[in-house]
Chain A
């Protein structure tokens, strides 16, 4: 019930404080949630990926996340500096369904907030909840170290409830990944992101220079 009430609050808040105000609120909540979940340290990628699979990392709050270990990200020297991860089901999907069967339709503010975020921050949101969700991941990544190096999260692609997709082509270029391949991942997953070591010199970035 809390989630359905929250969506009602988003509509209320967007009418009172504007969609920009809602984005600011969501961004702060994303930061605060990540901060309150604390820091984590892993000796290497295998131990992090095992922790993720067993639901022990802060990322596990999102639900079933798969580490696509066949999709390693390498730096200019060919060393593995990260992996691609995929969320099976959008965290907002149960709420969307519950609203569909109890209220009827999502309030207009849901798409208004997403549109404003896409225009003013980054073109990666399919619904209002992407704002907090993506911020949360970025902040959590900064709180986790793998082999004593802090992580960085890159949003790559996501699919909304009615099938709309967002593909972050610039981010994909940086890690040297084909957008069509990521699009095919969206058939089985709702959200795809990369976790990599902060400051790694990626092949795509080197090519750009």
Chain B
């Protein structure tokens, strides 16, 4: 009987390594830790300025990605399934949908709860978070609205570097994002056609996705 069951259920689930996504849904954020994290970053900015804070944010996001296990998949479909299930490191912290095989849409910013707790309990989000993003946009890559985007985008990039599909590395690129207060940041006009082509969506579809989601990005084979 047991043998028959095994035959009827071949290795369909061989790439499902974790039940982590199920567990994570049960874990609620604690506002204290989130608000304290922002103040911790502000304290660093007080001492080291926007450039120093930017370096810290990029460093912490990179070291977070490096502390997570490397991944390899045989096919893009297997990888995409892991991304959809939140089992790949690159999507472990966010809820996503995948309109095409390369386009990923984050439905809710994983930092939005922290931001709303901050604004509710402390007041206006400190200006330094936007100043550092401006520094990042002008010196690293133009895609951030605030410090949360720097952490998130750097993490995705560092995480993608640790994933191989069919022996080739995965690449990440940011297209657009919308902050919790509604500010929008879209990739430079000259980059957009190439990015949208890789994503397999039009500019109109991009704007439609941004209306009620928070982040639009792509993953592709390097």
Contacts and interface: CB of A to CB of B under 8 A. Distances in A.
Interface residues of A, number: 38
6 closest Cβ contacts across the A-B interface?
A: A1-B93, A8-B64, A1-B110, A9-B60, A6-B37, A91-B32
Given A1-B151, A8-B63, A9-B60, A101 B20 contact: yes
Interface of B: 18, 20, 23-24, 27-40, 42-44, 56, 59-61, 63-64, 67-69, 89, 92-94, 110-111, 114, 117, 121-123, 148, 151-152, 155
A162 interface: no
Interface in A96-138: 97-98, 101-104, 107, 129, 132-133, 136
Interface stretch (A28-36, A67-75, A192-200): A28-36
Contacts of A206: none
B40 A9 contact: yes
B77 to A, nearest CB: 23
A26 B40 CA distance: 7
Contacts of A4: 64, 93
Contacts of B93: 1, 4, 102
A95 B32 CA distance: 11
A209 B64 CA distance: 52
A1 B67 CA distance: 14
Contact of A132 (B36, B59, B123): B36
Contacts of A1: 93-94, 110-111, 151-152, 155
24 contacts: A2-B34, A2-B110, A5-B61, A6-B36, A6-B40, A6-B60, A9-B60, A11-B63, A11-B67, A12-B63, A25-B43, A26-B40, A36-B39, A36-B123, A61-B35, A63-B32, A91-B33, A92-B30, A95-B30, A97-B23, A102-B20, A102-B68, A103-B64, A107-B67
B33 A6 contact: yes
A90 B122 CA distance: 21
Nearest to A30: B36
Given A3-B37, A5-B60, A28 B23 contact: no
B151 A2 contact: yes
Contacts of A25: 40, 43-44
Interface in A1-27: 1-6, 8-9, 11-12, 25-26
B180 to A, nearest CB: 13
A139 interface: no
A9 B56 contact: yes
